A = this chain, B = another copy of it.
């Protein structure tokens, strides 16, 4: 599973520093729409039958049908705004609508008519990319280019906010500036933002999450990882907040379902929003991630999982509340462990060091080059080391922070920012962010349990105070009423006091703080509000420190990146930007892999219903619905039988270059018809985020035939099948 949000975010820096380069290899490449004209011939040769040029037209078919859910990808599949994405991408909404009495996670959900559709989890969006513009010269204009540090970041932010504000004058749209090539280029991306999203259909967990964490990132796979949303707009056809008066959105384009099943070696293509890749990082960044950060992350995640399981044991309500969080943590826990295993069995660092050393040799071999890039490359190494030291020392902070202290900080920061004119406010605290902040605070209750949250905070606070004092944040401890040598009993007593002293757990109380001013905050005796105020000065200090560093890194890293592009270019190699949550296209073929699995074995390109019956244990992660097992047993294959596979295909493998954020992406055939939905990669190749290997990297997708078979034969979703045009 590639999931959208990593709850405990590692990298809090403004500018995502990501660089990348194409290789001559077959299926590597997350192409930007602008780059597509350059690979038209490759697409044609690979078997694409539609005009490749159409792929660079964002508002035409098929790109107009591909949408972002903010962290996941999805696509329109009917003229009534029906959207298909992964079950794990809709999991938050399924969980949000579940109660112990009406357990949609376990039983699945099917709206038989529009009025039965359920509001998605607050904050849900359907975003349709309508324009991409290179604004590098406007973000780093001549004035900004002369600045460094915090001043540089501030100037960039002013430019960014102005561009965004102008862009968002087109009501119903959301605009963002994304950094490409590690801050060398900036693109302004404009998206239609549909605010009213509803849950239409999800299969039972025993289908949508069949195999659970055991099968996650694994092959052979048998997961029906699909669900349906519907986009709603106001009666005027414009995006509007949820209202019973809203009507289904009529997308300009939607995908048609393929009528022919995929076969081995067929051309396939994925369009979607990959989150992040790190294919050309510095050796020191590789070393820090794999030597320090990932091991720390794996350790902490394992503890989070244990604590959530322990504290929700026999508490069905708490279990449902934490199901989504747990799935996310488990997912990244396994992912990072897989990366680390590959890293330890390989020679990535050696290769990085070798190529970085070659780059430096090349730079220094020529006077002009040395003058142009030399300082930038040297500075980058030094600044990255500073940044990584900060990340390492502050690693446990977010784990040790009670959920409502985080809320209090957001609320107090908002009150502070609201004293400024909107355009001067910090990004994330402007008027355009108001509803996102509100929804964030609104949604907490359905995913929060005090017992769990407190146990997590106590556990990590203990670790935090066990660190050398010089790495501890005195302001943070002081705000919690703790000393640097606090023992477990004291931590517990103090946290009990803090949790008891706050009313932020009450939704109405919490949301009311969104409207209050600074005087209200200062007069409050809410324990977490008081702690947030106490922390404010230090939070500002850390933010300024980070901005100073970020400004310098951006300037240096852009130089390094320029040098790298020039170096590669001198060797005839093109460079494409690493993934950065913007719309990309990747293409490849349906293809198994050998060797794989045990000695002498390989992976077939398809799994089938036979494997579901074989894996089913009737409990836990392998608990297929009885109706499904009965249909398999009776060979009720309908028209979805594949004679070569002697059953209905379930999941398939393809040589596609995807990563987290691509979850929910449609897999299109040579005619750009919908043939399945990408949802995962394989554990021994997840290191492809850093180090792509054509021989091993595979995307795992749900076959359309399985989705339709399950909907028709098992879930009797005839209303949706009709809407999808299935006869």
Residue ranges of A at the interface with B (Cβ–Cβ < 8 Å): 219-222, 264, 592, 594-608, 610-611, 614, 645, 651
Contact = CB atoms under 8 A, between A and B. Distances in A.
A702 to B, nearest CB: 13
Contact of A604 (B219, B600, B608): B600
B594 A614 contact: no
Contacts of A596: 604
A219 B602 CA distance: 12
A608 B595 CA distance: 10
Question: What is the total number of copies of this protein in its complex?
Answer: 2
A220 B611 contact: no
A602 B600 contact: no
Contacts of A603: 594, 600-602
Residue with the greatest number of chain B CB neighbours at <10 A, chosen from A221, A592, A605, A645: A592
Contact of A600 (B220, B595, B600): B220
A602 B604 contact: yes
Given A220-B601, A595-B606, 11 more contacts: A219-B600, A222-B599, A222-B600, A594-B603, A594-B605, A596-B604, A600-B604, A601-B601, A601-B603, A602-B602, A602-B603
Nearest to A612: B599
A600 B594 contact: no
17 contacts: A220-B599, A220-B600, A222-B599, A594-B594, A594-B602, A594-B603, A595-B645, A596-B604, A599-B607, A599-B610, A600-B603, A600-B608, A601-B601, A601-B603, A601-B604, A602-B602, A602-B604
A219 B651 CA distance: 24
A725 B316 CA distance: 73
B599 A602 contact: no
Contacts of A614: 598-599
A717 B264 CA distance: 45
Give the most central of A597, A601, A607, A608: most B CB within 10 Å: A601
Contacts of A610: 599
B599 A611 contact: yes
B601 A606 contact: no
Nearest to A614: B599
Nearest to A695: B644
A604 B651 CA distance: 20
B604 A221 contact: no
Contacts of A592: 594, 602
A518 B196 CA distance: 106
Contacts of A608: 599-600
B607 A597 contact: no
A608 B599 CA distance: 7
Contact of A611 (B222, B600, B607): B600
B611 A606 contact: no
A219 B595 CA distance: 13
A589 B655 CA distance: 24
